[in-house]
Amino acid sequence: MKITKITPIGKKKVYDLSVKDVEHYVLANGVVTHNTGIYYSSDNIWIIGRQQEKEGTEVTGYNFIINVEKSRFVKEKSRIPVCVTWEGGISKWGGLLDVAQELGYVTKPSNGWYVPFDPATKKELTTKKYRADETETEEFWKELFKQTDLAKAIENRFSVSSKAMIDRITKGDDTDEDN
């Protein structure tokens, strides 16, 4: 089937049609539906992937990536890293390096080395370079949080703003867009 014309009709209420034991259903007017089922009725859909954390050939834990497919609380399509080791459990700082790099608060001046950075002033916060395992300390992150607005940047990156959502609804625009 080929689409020959699209006519805007504005906003209309739509319905999720499910037909028992049938994945696709053809309506009388020739429109083909697909059972969406649980996806649309879910508040949250998070898919968790994992990679082994190793020292040499020995598995010492897992690095999980939580992919947020659907959520009322976290921005959709977010990727949340979590590191869990056999010895220490959930790492308090694990995964934060990736997030801080993505947001521009940690730079990688050379392969294997990291430096805390303030995007507001466009300056490195120290002349010291750190290896990845050296960034998993309270000392490294406490200073970065203290000297920058990294906490606010993380909140803006992952959280869904209820104020923005309420503003859209009260203005009559209740489309589902990112903030």
Instruction: List the chain domain ranges.
Output: 14-42, 44-91, 96-179
Tell me the pLDDT tens digit for each residue of 20-36: 666 555 666 666 666 56
81: which strand partners? 65
Only one residue has tokens 């923005």, namely 164
The dihedrals phi and psi of 108, each to the nearest 5 degrees, come to -125, 85
Q: Any residues with CB less than 8 A from the CB of 120 and at least 6 apart, and which?
A: 148, 149
Whole-model pTM? 0.62
Q: Which of 72, 71, 55, 54 is nearest to 63 (CA)?
A: 54
Beta bridge mates, 20: none
Least confident residue range of 4-8, 24-28, 55-59, 70-74: 24-28
Query: 71-100: per-residue pLDDT in tens?
Result: 888 888 888 889 999 998 998 888 899 999
How far apart, in whole angstroms, are the C-alpha atoms of residue 50 and residue 142? Answer: 27
Rg of the Cα atoms in the chain: 23
